[in-house]
Amino acid sequence: MNRLGFFAVLALGLGMGAAGHYLYVNPPRVVMPYLSNWYGTAPAAERKIIYYRDPSGAPYWSSTPKKDAAGRDFLPVYEDEEVSFEPLAQAEKKVAGSASGERKILYYRNPMGLPDTSPVPKKDSMGMDYIAVYEDEQDEPGTVKVSPEKIQRTGVKTETVGTRTISRAIRGVGTLHHDEALLWIVTVRSDGFIEDLMVNRTGQHVKKGEPLFRFYSSQIQLAQADLIVALRAQSSSSKAEANRNIAGAVQRLRNLDVPDSRIEEIRKTLSNPRTLDWPSPATGNVIMKGVIEGQRVAAGDELFRIADHSRLWVIAEVAEADIAAIKIGMPVSVTLRSYPTESHEGVVTFIYPEMMKPQTRTISVRIDIPNPEGLLKPGMYADVVFDERSAAPVTAVPSSSVIDSGTRQVVLVAKGEGRFEPRAVKLGRRGEGYAEVIEGLQPGEEVVAAATFLIDAESNLKAALEAFIQSGPPS
């Protein structure tokens, strides 16, 4: 072999060695987990299996055939197959677009979601490439688009706007009180003495007409004597004059609060009893006794106070924010702390005209509650629930669908195909997990009821990007 042939063989050997070294150092790159064969497949006899992948698409591989936990065979990956990270549908879209040359890049956005755009490719401070935004990815103004994969992954749920009756339980705390219309004070209209006390214990139950004490009064004695004189003189005077004298004597006794039964007794017997058994004016319990036997009393002194407990008041404290929903005649459920398993039904009869407890920012509401068995006692604490129910069905959405910023309320209206429109609404009453919509929605529209935070974040990001685009992307 001549010298020229020797150098030619040597050069060929060195070139083949360099190529082999390059292939050894830089083997072909394989990317997981989605597989897409774009360039055709070699005949089965010539295809070489390079590894096996999990049949479910999970990031598991094997150099030899094997089965997964469910008993399914791993799938072979051939040497002539190209591997891509992207799902097949997305990859096909990009390939088709690149092949046709129709997709137009509008700008590049920050990969971390920051409101930063660029008209040309660039990297952020961490070295990450900006993401291209294509013309065909733009949505209609005022809407945000979310991929179906993200909707499914994050559990976005929608609900149809409909009409329903909104009911809300307004709660308050209260105390039982005497019904002021069922209170009586026992007093006398003349000076006198208590000679015998029949009711001598506070809390004692009395019936109407039952004697409370035996009373002696000189004024009553004189008035009884005048009546007897007028009755006896009617035969010696004209009928008109006699009637005037009798009527005047009877009126003086009534002015002293002498019962009609005593007056009739005097007219029949023409006798002047020394004492009078003072009757109870009502049936109830003695809640105050201010006299003892033998005591001298003056006209107007309060001797007894009697309360009828067949009906009581509940004075409930309602928060200032809830008082607008309380109406006269509204049904109320009252639960006493002494009887927590029993509920008593009452009705709102009065709303006090002023805030008597400004420290707690509550307004007092009066509730009438029957007490036929006498189990309820004044002074007991009560838990009160007002049943606020709207008179007619109203347009309502789930409370979870409302994004409340404090200054405005927004719901996300589903427009179909992963598109959502943030829409401001005006809300009314709330209750049972729903909110009344006064303005902004119509029955039949779809609103997002779960995972609203995700779409709201997408919407805020899009709004920020649009603001930057309108002002011109930075150079």
Domain that residue 212 falls in: 189-300
Domain presence at residue 16: yes
Cα→Cα distances 37→1, 34, 55, 73, 83, Å: 49, 10, 16, 20, 7
380 with 314, same domain? Answer: yes
Domain final residue, candidates 300, 328, 344: 300
Helix (H) or strand (E) holding 95: helix 88-100
351 contact partners, CB below 8 Å, separation of at least 6: 323, 326, 328, 363, 364, 365, 366
Give residue 230's Cα distance to chain centre. Answer: 76
328 with 381, same domain? Answer: yes
Q: How confident is the model at residue 139 (pLDDT cuts 50, 70, 90)?
A: low
200 with 256, same domain? Answer: yes
94 with 10, same domain? Answer: no
Is the backbone of residue 260 left (phi > 0), alpha (psi -120 to 50) or beta?
alpha
- Which residue, chain included where needed, has tokens 């928060």? 319
Give whichever of 16-25, 93-102, 277-286, 396-405 has the largest mean pLDDT.
277-286
Amino acid at position 456, single letter: D
Mean pLDDT (the chain, rounded)? 79
Give the per-residue pLDDT at 197. Answer: 94
Q: At 212, list the tokens.
A: 């409370």
Whether 448 shows a pLDDT value over 60: the answer reads yes
Domain final residue, candidates 333, 360, 389: 389
Say how many CA atoms lie within 13 Å of 331 toward its Cβ. Answer: 9
Strand partners of residue 357: 362
Give the per-residue pLDDT at 23. Answer: 45
Closest among 302, 296, 312 to 344, alpha carbons compared: 312
Domain presence at residue 398: yes
Whether 462 shows a pLDDT value over 60: the answer reads no
Whether 101 shows a pLDDT value over 60: the answer reads no
323 with 404, same domain? Answer: no
Q: Tell me the per-residue pLDDT of 288-301, one tens digit each, with 9 for 90 and over.
A: 999 999 999 999 99
Whether 377 shows a pLDDT value over 60: the answer reads yes
Q: How would you list the strands of the sheet with 302-307, edge to edge? A: 183-187, 302-307, 284-289, 205-206
Q: What is the mean pLDDT of residues 199-227?
A: 94
The region of weakest confidence among 285-289, 395-399, 430-434 is 430-434
Q: What is the mean pLDDT of residues 237-258?
A: 90
Count of C-beta atoms within a 10 Å radius of residue 22:
10
Contact present, 141 and 129 (Cβ < 8 Å): no
420 with 377, same domain? Answer: no
Say how many CA atoms lie within 13 Å of 224 toward its Cβ. Answer: 25
What's the CA gap between 40 and 30, in Å, rounded?
17
Give the per-residue pLDDT at 154. Answer: 65
Whether 163 shows a pLDDT value over 90: the answer reads no
Domain presence at residue 184: no
260 with 273, same domain? Answer: yes
Whether 7 shows a pLDDT value over 50: the answer reads no
Give the per-residue pLDDT at 264. Answer: 93
Task: State how many domains the chain has.
Answer: 6
Cα→Cα distances 297→214, 233, 255, 303, 462, Å: 12, 34, 18, 8, 88
Would you say how long the chain is, in residues?
475
What's the CA gap between 110 and 473, in Å, rounded?
12
What's the CA gap between 246 and 48, in Å, rounded?
136
Give the per-residue pLDDT at 80. Answer: 63
293 with 338, same domain? Answer: no
Q: At 354, list the tokens.
A: 């002023």
Domain presence at residue 244: yes
Domain presence at residue 355: yes
294 with 218, same domain? Answer: yes
Domain final residue, candidates 340, 361, 389: 389
Say how many CA atoms lie within 13 Å of 255 toward its Cβ. Answer: 10
Domain presence at residue 475: no
CATH number of residue 335's parent domain: 2.40.30.170
Give the per-residue pLDDT at 153. Answer: 66
What's the CA gap between 266 and 246, in Å, rounded?
12
Closest among 416, 323, 390 to 163, alpha carbons compared: 390
Amino acid at position 371, single letter: N
Q: Tell me the per-residue pLDDT of 66-86, one tens digit each, with 9 for 90 and over.
A: 888 888 888 888 766 644 444
Domain presence at residue 44: yes
Give residue 418's Cα distance to chain centre. Answer: 31
Using a 10 angstrom Cβ sphere, with 0-12 exposed, 13-18 middle and 19 or more buried, the burial of residue 436 is buried
What's the CA gap between 91 and 98, in Å, rounded?
10
Closest among 388, 266, 274 to 326, alpha carbons compared: 388
Of residues 97 and 217, more confidently modeled: 217
Strand partners of residue 347: 331, 368
287 with 193, same domain? Answer: yes
Tell me the torsion sign for CA atoms 448, 454, 458, 461: positive
Alpha helices in 101-217 (DSSP H): 148-154
396 with 385, same domain? Answer: no
Give the per-residue pLDDT at 459. Answer: 53
Give residue 38's Cα distance to chain centre. Answer: 57
Give the DSSP letter string of 316-364: EEEEGGGGGG--TT-EEEEEETTSTT--EEEEEEEE-SS-SBTTTTEEE
Give the DSSP letter string of 216-229: E-HHHHHHHHHHHH
Q: What is the mean pLDDT of residues 371-396?
A: 85
369 with 327, same domain? Answer: yes
Q: What is the mean pLDDT of residues 11-36?
A: 45
Tell me the torsion sign for CA atoms 239, 242, 248, 252: negative
Domain presence at residue 243: yes
Give the per-residue pLDDT at 28. Answer: 46
